Amino acid sequence: MKPENVFLVGDMDSPVVKVLDFGISKFDSAGGATLTQTGMIMGTPGYMPPEQARGAKTDHRADIYGVGAMLYRAVTGKLPFDSDDATEALSMVLTEEPPRPRSVQPSIPEALELVIQKAMAKDPEERHRSMAELDERLAPFDPETPASVSLLPPGPTAAAKAARKATLAAATVRSPTATDDFEKRTREAKLARPTMVFLTLVAYAWLLGCFVDAGTSALAALRGVNGSTATEKLVVGIVTVAISLAPLVFWLRHVRRVWGNSVHSVALAKTLRRLVLAATVPYAFVALALRVWNPLTDLRWAPIPAAVSLLVAAMSQIMSAMGGRRD
């Protein structure tokens, strides 16, 4: 799928879309010839999915990627991976993310950016499952739908309008929930990055507090006293910060990698919300239970709330990962 193979005929206000040139497609009919094989790379780098660039076997999700790349160019005016060198373009397809559409054209709605980036996911499993699902996600932006005209970027060119209408013309069935889902997706995309920053700060501060509290309590218990000195707290705090720097840098690099991708940003924000809740809520309940059971709170029990909360957070992440694999 690429613009050169998508023709608009008839009335340009309501064109008929024709897809031409199936020269490198795989035909599975009985006795049919296989024109593309594993290990063979054929196609246009700017619209080629990573699995095709690697010479691996492709399926219908390669076309979903191609439509996503055409959408990217239609709304931004630029290729996702723009290079005169085909080898360099293939390398970019395999190893890099295209610039965030809104960084090229800020007037693009957040929800539309989300659809484009999901269609262009490097992992086929992360893309839309079918063209019908992609069409459903695009339905709120259909220029033929009166209620959705205001959702389009202002001032698009006639060519951009025609290109967007071309991608939507194939399907005729619209999901009644597609438009209702638009505001939710827009809100998620807008809040994803601020949520990542805020919850990263919350999680880091909470972890530092847990380890400092557990460390100072352990020192006080070893000394046989009911409290720690300011010097001990300062030393434990410095050691904790020093130890946490390496994982913090690793985490910030991970956040930076997903920052330009709205799909991954939304997913990471959801993961952070789940983990922060799974960690802090059990901590609060266990700490309260210990306080009610023993008002003086024996320092030997101090690390228990942190241990329980970390265990619950780990179990939550494991269960989520197992559920994702089942899906």
pLDDT over threshold 90, residue 116: yes
Pairwise CA distance, residues 137 & 128, whole Å: 9
Give the pLDDT of residue 270: 92
Give the pLDDT of residue 154: 44
Architecture category of domain 3-178 in CATH: Orthogonal Bundle (1.10)
CB atoms within 10 A of CB 144: 11
Share of the chain above pLDDT 90, in %: 22
- Give the mean pLDDT of 11-36: 60
| Structure token digits, residue 61 | 């999700």
pLDDT over threshold 90, residue 196: yes
- Give the mean pLDDT of 104-133: 91
Pairwise CA distance, residues 282 & 310, whole Å: 9
Give tens-digit pLDDT for 220-253: 777 766 666 778 788 888 988 999 899 999 999 9
Share of the chain above pLDDT 70, in %: 75
pLDDT over threshold 70, residue 271: yes
| Structure token digits, residue 223 | 């000394």
Give the pLDDT of residue 153: 45
- Give the mean pLDDT of 77-98: 84
Q: What does pLDDT average to over the chain?
A: 77
Residue type, 129: R
Pairwise CA distance, residues 38 & 58, whole Å: 9
More confident residue, 84 or 121: 121
In the chain, where are the structural domains located? 3-178, 182-320
Cβ(70)–Cβ(2) under 8 Å? yes
Give the pLDDT of residue 174: 44
Pairwise CA distance, residues 266 & 143, whole Å: 27
Backbone dihedral region for residue 44 (phi beyond 0: left; psi -120 to 50: alpha; all else: beta): beta
DSSP at 327: -
